Amino acid sequence: MRLKPILSLLAASLALASPAWSAGPWVRTWAASPGEIQTAWPGHPIVPMSDVTFRMVARVSAGGHKVRLRLSNEMTDAPLAIGAVHVALAGLDGTPQPGTDRVVTFAGQAAPTIPAFAPLESDPVALAVPSLSKLVVSIHVPGEATRVTIHSLGVSSTRIVPGDQTAAVTPAGGRTAFERYILSGIDVSGGPATDTIVTLGDSITDGAASSDDRNQRWPDILAERLGRAGMTRLAVANAGISGNRLLLTGAGPAALARFDRDVLSAPGVRYLVVLEGVNDIGSAKNSPAGAPRAEDLIAAYRQIVARAHAHGIKVYGATILPYKGAGYWSEAGEAVRQTVNRWTRTPGHFDAVIDLDHALADKADPLTMAAAFDCGDHLHPKDAGYKAMADAVDLKLFR
């Protein structure tokens, strides 16, 4: 007769002891894959800096009632001390909305150290985050911050200001950059979203040549389409890295090398869209070995599909966009692209095909991108092209 009261007390105790993140599934609602540490190139020297705050604005895809951040020191060979981290809802001007600023902790610590070559995930933060809203994330690095892990193609501005200004409404001084610093992921819980779509790709997925600070990358526009269709159970995480390749590390780890980190580890991942390969083909134009064999790229796709299927993830293959006229186009490379795209379109290789080649090709010359979509370099779309890419995705694939 005493069993019921005892069980009730036990259930209550377990409820009190349960961590905050047990309330519902986590999904990755935003991502910026770690690609490199800061490096110099012509016209872009490294700016030495220390004791600075990085303030970034990120638009999430799905919303929730709890949020957590993923910081990255994964490209860096030394531990990174963090002084403070804040997150808040962003107003129209990008400043924190009143009453929404939160201190972010990591295993209870407000000033953690991230080990070399490692990520760091925050504790859950109670904050109501609407779908397609913007968050302000401020990260203070009290020590040397010149060679931190970055995502080089932000297509969004970052304010780098002196000292710890993580709690400031409007940080003073500093400069604007267009890399993402240290922040690599945002997760939400407690909302309608239960599943994440990861888009694995290169600069075309990363949004190169799209309008700065306007969220015109094709995964951003896909998230908007999902919202309008009432498909609120889905989040979108952009795992594009500018210059990325399937097979060779260079602009970030190769897709095969970063697959576990950027795809399998994303909470809630259920779908994967793959758009990679043009850099493997094009970057080999002046190589003594010439263009990679189509068989090598196809083998990489097979690996991606097998590794994703082992985790219950559906994989949708996107055909490689036309790029004739780009600086690294060649007839040999074009032959590889055509072979790979034919394989991608063949039923049974991917769970479904998203034919972006067809969607953006010039009807009179299918080897080139239509002028209405081309940013001018014959490789990257402009905003209209990214919209055409997102519009070419059949939303029924995610029902």
Which residues lie closer than 8 Å to 90 by C-beta, 6 or more apart?
57, 96, 97, 133, 134, 135, 136
Mean local confidence (pLDDT), 353-365: 98
Q: Quick count: other Cβ atoms within 10 Å of Cβ 38?
A: 20
| Lowest-pLDDT range of 26-35, 281-290, 357-366 | 281-290
Residue 376 CB burial class (10 angstroms; 0-12, 13-18, ≥19): exposed
Q: pLDDT by residue (tens digit) across 9-21?
A: 333 333 333 333 3
Tell me the two tokens of residue 12. 């209550």
Tell me the two tokens of residue 218. 């094709």
Q: What is the pLDDT of residue 51?
A: 98
Phi, psi for 82 (deg, rounded to 5): -105, 130
| Lowest-pLDDT range of 35-44, 45-54, 72-81, 297-306 | 35-44
Among the listed residues 248, 251, 303, 252, the one whose alpha carbon sits nearest the alpha carbon of residue 280: 248
Mean local confidence (pLDDT), 265-289: 91
Distance of CA 203 to the CA centre of its chain: 11
> Which residue is associated with the tokens 């952009």?
238
Q: Mean pLDDT for the chain?
A: 93
Which residues lie closer than 8 Å to 289 by C-beta, 6 or more apart?
none
What does the alpha-carbon distance between residue 357 and residue 322 come to, in Å, rounded to a whole number?
6
Q: What is the pLDDT of residue 11?
A: 38
Q: What is the pLDDT of residue 292?
A: 87
What is the torsion angle, in degrees rounded to the nearest 10, for the CA atoms of residue 94, residue 122, residue 182 and residue 143?
Answer: 100
pTM: 0.93
Mean local confidence (pLDDT), 117-124: 98
Q: How many percent of the chain have pLDDT more than 70? A: 93
Q: What residues does 76 pair with on adjacent strands?
A: none
Q: Is the pLDDT of residue 122 over 60?
A: yes
194-398 domain in CATH 3.40.190.80? no
Q: Which carries the bigger pLDDT value, residue 38 or residue 368? A: 368
Q: What residues does 161 pair with on adjacent strands?
A: 53
Q: pLDDT by residue (tens digit) across 197-233?
A: 999 999 999 999 999 999 999 999 999 999 999 999 9
Mean local confidence (pLDDT), 251-262: 96
